[in-house]
Homo-oligomer: A and B are copies of this chain.
C-alpha cells in the first residue's frame, strides 16, 4: 500500500537475519478493521508516535512457520519461556516493544510501549529488509517481537484469528471481576456486542468461553448477524428491524429482564455509537470500547445522566498484554469442538489479490477475510 486507496505487488530480496532476528514463511494474514481504515485514509492509531509510514506491506494478524531464527531471538522472542525453534508454527505479535520505557517496565505485558512500532502500518517497507507486513510470502521479525507456538489441534484458519481474539481477551481481562459489586464482567453476565464484524464475533467467542449467559449482537448486515447466530450468539438485533437507537435500547432491556446489559462491547469503529451503548447498560454496567480507531471530531455524552447517575464504567481498550496471545490459543484449542471458530473465516485471497480481499472485507457479505500466500507457485 503506497497511499490510502493505492496498492500494488512488489518483490523484495529474501533478507539475512542476525542473532536477534528471525524470518518467517507466512501461512496466513487476516484483514483487520484498522487495515480498512488505513486503506480509506481514516486510521487513527492514537498511541504516541504511532503513525502510518507509507509505503507499507499491510498485515499484522499473522501466522507462519519459522524459517530462520537468530540464536538470541530463540529465547528473546519466546513468550512462554520455552525457546523457539526453526519449523515452529507461530502467531507473531503485532507490536514491537522497546522493553525499557516506563510502560514496558511498569505495565504487565508491555501493551503501551512509548516506543511502540507495529507491523503492517507503522513500519514502512521502504527500507531494507523491507518485509515488515504479513500480506507477503515472508516476514522479517525484529527484536522486541514475541512469537507464540500454535497448538497442533488448531488449524491455520483457527490460528489466524489469534490476534483479534487476544484483543478481546485483553479487554475482557481489564473488565473481569467477581460478581460482588456486579461491576466489570462477571461469569453469567449478559453481553451486548455492538457490531457483529470479525472483532465483534471474536468478542462473542470470548464472552461465551468466559461463561456469559446471554450474548446479543447488533449490526446492520444480515449476513453477519446470521453467521454470528450460528456460531455463538444468542440473540440478534438488526438495524433493519430496529432502526432507531431508542428501539434498540428497548429491545436490549426486554432481553435482559428489564435491567439493561451487564456489559456492552463496542466493535463498530464508529465513535458516535458511545451514547447508544451507555443507554443500553444497567445501573453499574460496564462498557468496553475496542473498535474506535478512526479520526473523530468528538461525540456527545451526558456526564451526569449517562455516566454518574448510571454509575457506568467505561474502558477504552487498544492493544493487549502479549501474554494474551498464548492464552487465547489455549482456549481455542480447548473449545474447538463446541465453537466452530474456523467458520469465522469466510473468504481467502492470494497476496496478489490483496486489494480485492480488502474490498471483500468491507462488503456486506463477508466476515473474516484472510490473505494466504501461494508459496512455490
Residue of B nearest to A278 (CB): B316
Which residues 319-344 in A have Cβ within 8 Å of B in the complex? Answer: 319, 321, 323, 326-328, 330-331, 333-335, 337-338
* A279 and B21 alpha carbons, distance in the complex (Å): 37
Query: Is residue A6 contacting chain B, with contact meaning CB distance below 8 A?
Result: no
Which residues 346-372 in A have Cβ within 8 Å of B in the complex? Answer: none
Query: Is residue A299 contacting chain B, with contact meaning CB distance below 8 A?
Result: yes
Q: Is the CB of A178 within 8 A of B176?
A: yes
* A210 and B192 alpha carbons, distance in the complex (Å): 18
Stretch at the interface among A102-110, A118-126, A195-203, A218-226: A102-110
A101 CB to nearest B CB, Å: 5
Residues of chain B lying within 8 A (CB to CB) of residue A311: 111-112, 316-319
Q: Is the CB of B304 within 8 A of A310?
A: no
Residue of B nearest to A274 (CB): B303
Query: Is residue A211 contacting chain B, with contact meaning CB distance below 8 A?
Result: yes
Query: Is residue A117 contacting chain B, with contact meaning CB distance below 8 A?
Result: no
A47 CB to nearest B CB, Å: 6
Stretch at the interface among A61-69, A72-80, A239-247: A72-80
Known contacts A309-B316, A316-B309, A318-B309; is A187 also within 8 Å of B327 by CB? yes
Q: Is the CB of B112 within 8 A of A283?
A: yes
Contact with B along A284-303 (1 / 0, CB 8 A): 10000111111111111111
Q: Is the CB of A259 within 8 A of B307?
A: no
* A109 and B183 alpha carbons, distance in the complex (Å): 13
Query: Is residue A46 contacting chain B, with contact meaning CB distance below 8 A?
Result: yes
Q: Is the CB of B327 within 8 A of A316?
A: no
> Of B78, B107, B181, B316, which is within 8 A of A100 by CB?
B78
Give chain A's interface residue range (CB within 8 Å of chain B).
35 or more
> Of B179, B213, B323, which is within 8 A of A333 by CB?
B213
Q: Is the CB of A188 within 8 A of B330?
A: yes
Q: Is the CB of B112 within 8 A of A284?
A: yes
Query: Is residue A305 contacting chain B, with contact meaning CB distance below 8 A?
Result: yes
* A108 and B271 alpha carbons, distance in the complex (Å): 33
* A311 and B292 alpha carbons, distance in the complex (Å): 11
Which residues 73-102 in A have Cβ within 8 Å of B in the complex? Answer: 75-76, 78-82, 100-102
Q: Is the CB of A211 within 8 A of B210?
A: yes
* A259 and B82 alpha carbons, distance in the complex (Å): 11
Residues of chain B lying within 8 A (CB to CB) of residue A309: 44-47, 293, 316, 318
Query: Is residue A180 contacting chain B, with contact meaning CB distance below 8 A?
Result: yes
Residue of B nearest to A328 (CB): B188
A6 CB to nearest B CB, Å: 24
Which residues 239-262 in A have Cβ within 8 Å of B in the complex? Answer: 257, 259
Q: Is the CB of B298 within 8 A of A300?
A: yes
Nearest 6 Cβ contacts at the A-B interface: A46-B309, A81-B102, A180-B180, A338-B338, A213-B330, A307-B316
Q: Which residues of A line the B interface, CB within 8 A?
A: 44-47, 75-76, 78-82, 100-109, 111-112, 114, 169, 172-174, 176-183, 186-188, 208-214, 234, 257, 259, 271, 274, 283-284, 289-305, 307-319, 321, 323, 326-328, 330-331, 333-335, 337-338
17 interchain pairs (CB within 8 A)?
A: A44-B305, A47-B309, A76-B100, A108-B108, A179-B323, A274-B303, A289-B307, A292-B303, A295-B304, A296-B304, A299-B303, A303-B316, A311-B319, A312-B315, A313-B316, A314-B315, A338-B338
